Amino acid sequence: MENRSVLVTGASSGIGKECALLLARHGFRVFAGVRKQRDAEALGEAGDGRIVPVMIDVTEASSIQAAVNTVREALPADATFALVNNAGITVAGPLEILPIDSLRRQFEVNVIGQVAVTQAFLPLLRGHRGRIVIMGSVLGRISPPLVGPYAAAKFALEAITDSLSIELRGSGIRVVLLEPGNIATPIWEKSKNNVLERLDSLEPVRRALYAKTRADIVRIARAFARGGLASSHVARKVVHALTVRAPRTRYRIGIDSKILSTLSPLVPDRFRYWLTRVVLFLAR
């Protein structure tokens, strides 16, 4: 079997963890990027010797460089190497009351962090017949209410994928963007609680203005949790993107992703806005 290695960022839970475990079962040596020691220990125990936890904070240059050094020292000369840019956070809430620092944090982790990791690992990718998988979303094509910051970051990854794919064409490095629809992960529940706390801390007049919005946030989080695909669907597509001879540049995952991303550029904005509200159970 080919000697294959891969770094997966954001591997402590959800999609990233599922990717790390499935790639290990498919024979990859997985460098699993985490930020907490307890997550490193849990992954190391679960990987049957094929998962190597790597401490990495994608917003810290020194942490990224330390991860590069760790991976470089462990890579056999004949190994292929791939990068799965999965690390991310969710910032949600009405844009009117969103702290600007939270918006900056959204882009710092989900966009700038992915570019920083890619830059740092490109020399290894060039030397080891590399591939890059970027974790996008159907929300990189449509932007529902109350999740504008997250959607904006995913829109940015669409642009970065196009530019990076063309720029690396001569290097033989394939760049793949995954566009999952609704995936059942704990990320939305965490975000919901943060938004509700922010709304509840508003002064009475503004809190009254957002009384219906508060109910909508609960409804959106419930909608995302109710119909989401399992993370394993995304993990299987990551394995495909890293093993198929000629991967596509984009993969839409889930019926909702395929339908919404296909319809979005074809219909008038008002219809698209209405359809988005219907999907999120917000239409009355």
Residues labelled catalytic: 150
- What residues contact residue 81 under an 8 Å CB cut-off, 6+ apart? 5, 6, 7, 71, 75, 124, 125, 127, 128, 129, 130
* Strand stretches in the chain, DSSP E: 4-8, 29-34, 51-55, 80-85, 131-135, 174-180, 250-253
CA terminus-to-terminus distance, the chain: 56
What burial letters (b/e) apply to 150-175, b meaning 16+ CB within 10 Å?
A: bbbbbbbbbebbeebbeebeeeebbb
Whole-number Å distance between alpha carbons of 62 and 69: 11
Write the DSSP assignment of 206-268 as a string of letters: HHHHTHHHHHHHHHHHHHHHHHPBPHHHHHHHHHHHHHSSS--SEEEESHHHHHHHHHTTTS-
Q: Which residues pair with 174 in a beta bridge?
A: 131
Q: Which residues pair with 131 in a beta bridge?
A: 82, 174
